[in-house]
Chain A
């Protein structure tokens, strides 16, 4: 029995380290190759030894697909391809291909230069790894090999985020990566067509949340920032350089312009300008509004937001600073946090992404309880909420759903909801646990147009609604399957048809003339066997007096068993030939049901 097998190596009932193995119709695909933000040991990367104990990954995996550039989806890529060893194709979208190596390099720097880790991947490895990447367009059908094809859909989570459909023959799996079903200030909403996959693998970060409207959150955010700067406080917003940062920048920029505020806004690290530049060049990936207006005004050219210098942190007076990284665990955001945490006027918000980061934040928060800085937690991260996930499932109409990238408890709740409301089976495997789904792919064969048209023509008859049986012969030659009509099959194989006829002599005793007699018998038979073609040959050669015997008994008896009237153009002459004394017919048909 064919089946689809799914094993999460990461992100199974967990957030971070996304890495899911899918086997579909003999093809093995790895979805995402992420790192875990919460760990600094071996658990940081997925356990690739699970894939194959000995032997090369390249031989086992047909391709690797990266959904977007966040490190929990691509962070382990150089380790996987260069240190473990994989030479096959890696698919991702153009913006992901552009931005991914920069984030990897950043990650490497923090790990190696700041934390002094040894045995980490090098810059060269990142470059070599990126050489194996094949960029895909949205909606482009990429033929990985003769059978395996993949197709990207817009996911709206970050710039270049995509959902992927993996298809072999009539079996398919859709992997959503991270996605967002509501358009935000800079990106559009995720969309997929009704592709009816066998399995939909969806993230479930916000499995239980139905978030209030974006506008409320935005208003809340702006109000808090505004209040803080009004009373002379400083605002620290730890963010990732790419993604939410741009959305918040657009938000603050428009707010500053509207309120005519002069308080400086800074964006830390050299990445800013570069990051904004990516948004400018990949503007086709942003939302409708930005794309429409970009000629007049590029939304990513900010007037109020300037580059940050370390010295600015000690400047007196209010300011707003976007600092990386978003989880406050290292780097500039942590430095600034330490500096400002002592003053109750200041405020820090966390545009968090990783839930383990949230826990860390709480620790940090408890630690700074005696220091009076306000800590606000605001979620702007663009994941679909429960409503959005249900909506996507409805859009794609999968046979079953598999949840990853979320907490077990919340997943369980969502699973129940999906099974009850949408009536599709739903799975939530833990890491290393395999889900096996039997599939029943139908078998494509070629049908001869003649046969098909013959059937279709019947479909136009009055009783078209009634299903009808189609008869044909399937010719199997090597792997070539063709369905043709039986006659054609015989002809193609050079076989002659064998006719089987029965003749039976019946004696009728009648004094009328032959012609008249023939007509009477003819009409009688016609009435008894309306579905058979009955013919009286023009020349009746049978001699005079005949005896009718057993007709009454045998003919009605037969009439229930005769076949439906064969179509015209049939090579043989089915039917009843009435030669007064001779009734040749194909008795096989007449008696077959006995």
Chain B
């Protein structure tokens, strides 16, 4: 979502974007925060000469190793964000969205965040599931919808957990105990975080934890340009929450306990460190603020303010950035650093459980997931294991999905269906020959009964009629079956042919009608009639032959 403006604003993209309402609202907040942070530190000029490959080669790491630097872009503006979001059409879970009559797209709950979705793309006979950023853990969002993913031809799997070795529950516990320890020792706690997502769960944990840990007097500050909006928005998406939280709304109570934290003044939120915050600021305290990369945003101030004291602690919870790299510019650092990344997305054990449950015919995933991570190459359990082995893809690679389309849906009008005459060919299998007019509109096909031959009418009218009447010439039906010679001869005799001779050949028989100077070669799959040029005779023979054959 965060890169949406780059697609919609500068590439000439004119299509529709589909997303759920919480995705749009919360995505807007995240982008708004990002834009705000970036715009606070305007750069008069930006260096670009280093992007030259020859120069980049000489630079120290990590600049040296950066890929595709020429494609790096400046951050978008709020105007671009608004324009991008205006192109989104809101959809709900399990809503079937018809695209050009060809495919149907359906979002499903992925269980990771408010309104986060997996998608099903299906035609009448094929089904592709896109599973990205899903979670099987019970946190605040609606649980993941697994049942609807069943019977997929292809399942595209991505957005797995970044820290497959960490257990989110354990991390939350560690987070709380470290926080309490620091506060008790008189230090401050800094939590670099995004303004939405895990923070709701952290606040909920703290809500239950602070009283038991004796922290009820410690102020919690949530500083972000969108802090207020984020907290407010989280309360109004009752329909997108897990069952527990939903039933709270029915009472009616706010679904998240941070409403109570705010009411009791334990949690305070500010748009930035300037203004009201500087008056209310009191230590020791806990501060939640962004950006988790520690490169911009209000978090930078706190790092510099608290970094020199060993009483203070910074706790990293967001898994998106390596905490060592994030801290690098602040070294040497006296402050304690705790790394408890909380990533609730699927780990490899959950993936294999999910695949067993859903049983797709093929799995497609990024290349990284098909081998153990480079740092832990002995951990064979840290990769996707399924049968048949997953197809992997790489950046900018085009992958042909392994299915062959054979059928499409077509509708037969009831009048036409009534006129069909099915024939039972084999037990349980019937055939019917269909001759109908095909109408295709919006990629939907309908078979209509063929119009009756035009009635002879006055000249003018007939001319117009002829436009509408299709080529009514009947197509030769295909014939099938074989002719039993004896019965054929009998019926020939019945119809007045006399003097019939039958000769056996290698492949069949030859029937000679001496009187009519006709020779009929009958083989398993063919009949060859050699006769005089007599239309009447031909018709008679044809009808006799056809009696023994099936027409399609």
A467 contact set on B, CB distance < 8 A: 437-439, 451, 468, 470
In angstroms, Cα B526 to Cα A486, docked, is 17
In the complex, the answer to whether B238 meets A563 with C-beta atoms within 8 Å is no
In angstroms, Cα B212 to Cα A96, docked, is 38
In the complex, the answer to whether B429 meets A493 with C-beta atoms within 8 Å is yes
A452 contact set on B, CB distance < 8 A: 408, 410, 445
In the complex, the answer to whether B408 meets A449 with C-beta atoms within 8 Å is yes
B93 contact set on A, CB distance < 8 A: 137, 140
In angstroms, Cα B439 to Cα A459, docked, is 10
For A486, give its contact among B91, B95, B478 (CB under 8 Å).
Answer: B478
In angstroms, Cα B534 to Cα A505, docked, is 10
Q: Name the residue in B255, B450, B552 with the highest tally of chain A Cβ atoms < 10 Å from its Cβ.
A: B552
> Is B239's CB within 8 Å of the partner chain A?
yes
Interface residues of B in 407-447 (CB under 8 A from A): 407-415, 417, 420, 422, 425-426, 428-440, 445-447
In the complex, the answer to whether B552 meets A490 with C-beta atoms within 8 Å is yes
In angstroms, Cα B481 to Cα A493, docked, is 12
In the complex, the answer to whether B475 meets A564 with C-beta atoms within 8 Å is yes
In the complex, the answer to whether A591 meets B538 with C-beta atoms within 8 Å is yes
Interface residues of A in 523-556 (CB under 8 A from B): 549-550, 554
From B168-176, B246-254, B319-327, B365-373, give the one contacting chain A. B246-254
B526 contact set on A, CB distance < 8 A: 498-501
A498 contact set on B, CB distance < 8 A: 479-482, 525-527, 549
In the complex, the answer to whether A554 meets B445 with C-beta atoms within 8 Å is no
In angstroms, Cα B524 to Cα A498, docked, is 8
In the complex, which residue of chain B has the Cβ closest to the Cβ of A1? B414
> Is A315's CB within 8 Å of the partner chain B?
no
> Is A39's CB within 8 Å of the partner chain B?
no
> Is B546's CB within 8 Å of the partner chain A?
yes
> Is A156's CB within 8 Å of the partner chain B?
no
In the complex, the answer to whether A281 meets B527 with C-beta atoms within 8 Å is no
**With contacts A295-B232, A497-B525 known, is A487 near B407, CB below 8 A?**
no
In angstroms, Cα B481 to Cα A448, docked, is 24
In angstroms, Cα B238 to Cα A97, docked, is 12
**With contacts A498-B526, A503-B529, A505-B532 known, is A473 near B552, CB below 8 A?**
yes
B428 contact set on A, CB distance < 8 A: 477-478
In the complex, the answer to whether B434 meets A587 with C-beta atoms within 8 Å is no
In the complex, the answer to whether B528 meets A470 with C-beta atoms within 8 Å is no
A497 contact set on B, CB distance < 8 A: 478-480, 525
Q: Name the residue in A283, A442, A456, A473 with the highest tally of chain B Cβ atoms < 10 Å from its Cβ.
A: A442
In angstroms, Cα B409 to Cα A469, docked, is 18
A170 contact set on B, CB distance < 8 A: 411
> Is A258's CB within 8 Å of the partner chain B?
no
In angstroms, Cα B106 to Cα A139, docked, is 11
- Against A, the Cβ 8 Å flags (1 = close, 0 = not) of B224-257 are 0000110011011111000000100110101100
In angstroms, Cα B233 to Cα A557, docked, is 82
Q: Name the residue in B412, B472, B550 with the highest tally of chain A Cβ atoms < 10 Å from its Cβ.
A: B412
Least distance between B525 CB and chain A CB atoms (Å): 5
For B434, give its contact among A139, A483, A592, A594 (CB under 8 Å).
Answer: A483
> Is B380's CB within 8 Å of the partner chain A?
no
**With contacts A469-B437, A472-B434 known, is A500 near B21, CB below 8 A?**
no
B440 contact set on A, CB distance < 8 A: 456, 459
A470 contact set on B, CB distance < 8 A: 434-438, 447
Interface residues of B in 315-347 (CB under 8 A from A): none
In the complex, the answer to whether B533 meets A549 with C-beta atoms within 8 Å is yes
A471 contact set on B, CB distance < 8 A: 433-435, 475
In the complex, the answer to whether B475 meets A482 with C-beta atoms within 8 Å is no
In the complex, the answer to whether B411 meets A486 with C-beta atoms within 8 Å is no
A496 contact set on B, CB distance < 8 A: 480, 524-525
In the complex, the answer to whether A455 meets B438 with C-beta atoms within 8 Å is yes
In the complex, which residue of chain B has the Cβ closest to the Cβ of A458? B438
Least distance between B517 CB and chain A CB atoms (Å): 9
Some 21 contacts from A to B, beta carbons below 8 A apart, are: A137-B95, A295-B228, A295-B229, A444-B412, A446-B410, A447-B408, A466-B470, A471-B475, A474-B433, A476-B429, A476-B432, A486-B477, A493-B426, A495-B480, A497-B479, A498-B482, A500-B542, A501-B527, A501-B529, A588-B542, A591-B538
A124 contact set on B, CB distance < 8 A: none
In angstroms, Cα B526 to Cα A11, docked, is 70
Least distance between B536 CB and chain A CB atoms (Å): 9
For B530, give its contact among A472, A504, A564 (CB under 8 Å).
Answer: A504
In the complex, the answer to whether A138 meets B542 with C-beta atoms within 8 Å is no
In angstroms, Cα B253 to Cα A274, docked, is 9
A441 contact set on B, CB distance < 8 A: 414
A288 contact set on B, CB distance < 8 A: none
**With contacts A440-B414, A470-B438, A490-B480 known, is A563 near B474, CB below 8 A?**
yes
In angstroms, Cα B478 to Cα A586, docked, is 11
Least distance between A375 CB and chain B CB atoms (Å): 34
In angstroms, Cα B102 to Cα A456, docked, is 15
A94 contact set on B, CB distance < 8 A: 238-239, 246, 249
In the complex, the answer to whether A449 meets B407 with C-beta atoms within 8 Å is yes
For A563, give its contact among B431, B473, B527 (CB under 8 Å).
Answer: B473
> Is B397's CB within 8 Å of the partner chain A?
no
Interface residues of A in 161-214 (CB under 8 A from B): 170
In the complex, the answer to whether B249 meets A589 with C-beta atoms within 8 Å is no
> Is A468's CB within 8 Å of the partner chain B?
yes
In the complex, the answer to whether B124 meets A473 with C-beta atoms within 8 Å is no
B255 contact set on A, CB distance < 8 A: 281
In the complex, the answer to whether A448 meets B406 with C-beta atoms within 8 Å is yes
In the complex, which residue of chain A has the Cβ closest to the Cβ of B481? A498
For B252, give its contact among A277, A474, A550 (CB under 8 Å).
Answer: A277
A594 contact set on B, CB distance < 8 A: 535, 539
In the complex, the answer to whether B436 meets A469 with C-beta atoms within 8 Å is yes
Q: Name the residue in B91, B228, B236, B530 with the highest tally of chain A Cβ atoms < 10 Å from its Cβ.
A: B236
In the complex, which residue of chain A has the Cβ closest to the Cβ of B437? A467
B406 contact set on A, CB distance < 8 A: 448-449
> Is A141's CB within 8 Å of the partner chain B?
yes
> Is A142's CB within 8 Å of the partner chain B?
yes
For B410, give its contact among A98, A142, A294, A445 (CB under 8 Å).
Answer: A445
> Is A216's CB within 8 Å of the partner chain B?
no
B413 contact set on A, CB distance < 8 A: 440, 442
> Is A475's CB within 8 Å of the partner chain B?
yes
In the complex, which residue of chain A has the Cβ closest to the Cβ of B446? A442
Least distance between A327 CB and chain B CB atoms (Å): 25
Q: Name the residue in B238, B425, B545 with the highest tally of chain A Cβ atoms < 10 Å from its Cβ.
A: B238
In the complex, the answer to whether B445 meets A283 with C-beta atoms within 8 Å is no
In angstroms, Cα B64 to Cα A241, docked, is 67
B254 contact set on A, CB distance < 8 A: 281
In angstroms, Cα B552 to Cα A473, docked, is 7
> Is A284's CB within 8 Å of the partner chain B?
yes
> Is B211's CB within 8 Å of the partner chain A?
no
**With contacts A442-B413, A474-B434 known, is A591 near B439, CB below 8 A?**
no
In the complex, the answer to whether B94 meets A443 with C-beta atoms within 8 Å is no
> Is B199's CB within 8 Å of the partner chain A?
no
For B475, give its contact among A98, A502, A563 (CB under 8 Å).
Answer: A563
B507 contact set on A, CB distance < 8 A: none
In angstroms, Cα B125 to Cα A502, docked, is 44
In the complex, the answer to whether A474 meets B420 with C-beta atoms within 8 Å is yes
B524 contact set on A, CB distance < 8 A: 496
B532 contact set on A, CB distance < 8 A: 504-505
**With contacts A94-B238, A139-B95, A140-B92 known, is A447 near B474, CB below 8 A?**
no
In the complex, which residue of chain A has the Cβ closest to the Cβ of B478? A486
> Is A308's CB within 8 Å of the partner chain B?
no
B447 contact set on A, CB distance < 8 A: 470, 483
In the complex, which residue of chain B has the Cβ closest to the Cβ of A562? B473
In the complex, the answer to whether B408 meets A474 with C-beta atoms within 8 Å is no
> Is B295's CB within 8 Å of the partner chain A?
no
In angstroms, Cα B254 to Cα A94, docked, is 15
> Is B73's CB within 8 Å of the partner chain A?
no
**With contacts A137-B93, A141-B94 known, is A278 near B252, CB below 8 A?**
yes
For A505, give its contact among B467, B481, B530 (CB under 8 Å).
Answer: B530
In angstroms, Cα B446 to Cα A409, docked, is 42
